[in-house]
Amino acid sequence: MMLQVRAFQLSNVDVGRSWILDPAELTRAALFSGELPRRRFLAGRLVQRHFAAELLGLADDRLEIDYHCPACGQGSWLNHGRPGYTVEGRPVPLVLSLSRCGDWAVVAGQLDADLTGAVGVDVEDESSTAFEGFDATLLTDGEQRLTLSTPEHSRPQLRAQLWTRKEALLKALGTGLAREPNGIDVVADPRVRSMAPEPLGLPSNLVVAVAWLALPPRR
Ligand SMILES: CC(C)(COP(=O)(O)OP(=O)(O)OC[C@H]1O[C@@H](n2cnc3c(N)ncnc32)[C@H](O)[C@@H]1OP(=O)(O)O)[C@@H](O)C(=O)NCCC(=O)NCCS
């Protein structure tokens, strides 16, 4: 099966089904001080679980989370990091990634029997990179040159594309922003691709990138 990428509107999700989530997920949800961020967190975890279950052909309440953080470790007790699931203690043959932006979430996943691949997805609003110092702090020298040689009116979209490509790749690598984004050039990296938002059902102001890595077999 090919890499699947799907978008979801979080306000359409029935968070009354949050009882199917795992205790670590509900504990993290309880830490949000605002109702809207809590609701969006829960909705994202629900759509991700449902998406994973559908690819696996299983009921969504059979999955148990198995997150991985490079700093904290891995397991059902962990409420952050790279997503994954187990069923009856065994890792499911699926690699997965999630990103939220406002009322939207994008989930990418692929069945991977040997778990030798990794996926990363990111969605951002085009305006999210419009701040002083973005280029100098977060882009490589080559990316900064490309931005400067691009007509001014196209720069916000280019910056958002570069940023989503970086975050998608850093999620696939599993490090997230623990690795410096200005040390990773994504202009022509074949592991990452930008996707148009409209075919996914997303508003046109959103920018999406997906990264796919083939890792060496573990055995
Ligand atoms: C991961 C990160 C790039 C997220 O970016 P963002 O634009 O704020 O948020 P997004 O909605 O796009 O992505 C959030 C999702 O990224 C995923 N994610 C988090 N850390 C990840 C990692 N190390 N690798 C892969 N995916 C990760 C999770 O699925 C998370 O969803 P959740 O909120 O349901 O847990 C960024 O927050 C980050 O790097 N954080 C981790 C830094 C770190 O490792 N700190 C040490 C923690 S102890």
CATH number of the CATH domain containing 199: 3.90.470.20
Mean pLDDT of the region 175-204: 92
In this structure, are 129 and 100 located in the same domain? no
The pLDDT, as a whole number, for residue 131 is 87
| Dist CA 116 CA 110 (whole Å) | 11
In this structure, are 108 and 120 located in the same domain? no
Q: Is 69 in the pocket of ligand 1 (CB under 6 A)?
A: yes
The pLDDT, as a whole number, for residue 30 is 97
What tens digit of pLDDT does each residue of 105-141 get?
Answer: 999 999 988 878 999 999 999 999 888 899 999 999 9
In this structure, are 1 and 102 located in the same domain? yes
In this structure, are 153 and 99 located in the same domain? no
In this structure, are 108 and 129 located in the same domain? no
**Tally of domains within the chain:** 2
CA angle 52, 54, 56 (to 5 degrees): 70
In this structure, are 46 and 150 located in the same domain? no
Of the residues 79, 95, 113, the one at which a domain ends? 113
Of the residues 113, 138, 172, the one at which a domain ends? 113
Q: Is 102 in the pocket of ligand 1 (CB under 6 A)?
A: no
Query: Given ligand 1 and candidates 51, 74, 98, which is best to mutate, with the most ligand atoms within 8 Å of its CB?
Result: 98
Strands (DSSP E) contained in 117-162 are 117-125
Q: Using the structure block, give the residue that is written with the tokens 């790279």.
A: 82
In this structure, are 22 and 95 located in the same domain? yes
> What's the domain range around 176?
116-219
What tens digit of pLDDT does each residue of 52-102 get?
Answer: 999 999 999 999 999 999 899 999 999 999 999 999 999 999 999 999 999
The pLDDT, as a whole number, for residue 176 is 75
Of the residues 53, 87, 113, the one at which a domain ends? 113
Q: Is the pLDDT of residue 219 over 60?
A: no
Q: Is the pLDDT of residue 218 over 60?
A: no
Whole-number Å distance, alpha carbon 157 to ligand 1 midpoint, is 22
Whole-number Å distance, alpha carbon 176 to ligand 1 midpoint, is 6
